Amino acid sequence: MITIYVSYGNEQTEKWINIHSAALVPSSELYPDSRVCDESFGINDSEFSLPNGETFKVSATFTPSNMGIMIVVTSGNNTLINVACYKQSLENHDPSILFRTPKGLDVTIMAGQNS
């Protein structure tokens, strides 16, 4: 279905380096003890670390019926990014979120179709 891809900007090579990916799973697998009856997919707190030692967690939810997606990035107890929008198509790598970390690395997070 959908995978979240994380890359950082390598200043020496001036290229994006893929460092993390996490495939969304059916919500019923994320919350087996609840009575989830929708057809959404998600990930909870998928952790990634950058070469400069910073550590973040990304969570996401995707609902195919309306192509709605929400992506949240946290560091410790702080929410850094909380984006809710709609994918144009499953094939596109949207949304594409670009941000600079507190220690100065550029990071991009994209939601794309599984390969």
Tens digits of residue pLDDT in 46-82: 999 999 999 999 999 999 999 999 999 999 999 999 9
| Average pLDDT, integer, range 14-18 | 96
CA nearest to 80, candidates 17, 18, 13, 6: 6
Predicted TM-score of the model (pTM) = 0.90
Distance of CA 79 to the CA centre of its chain: 13
Torsion sign (Cα): 113, 1, 97, 95: positive
pLDDT in tens, 77-87: 999 999 999 99
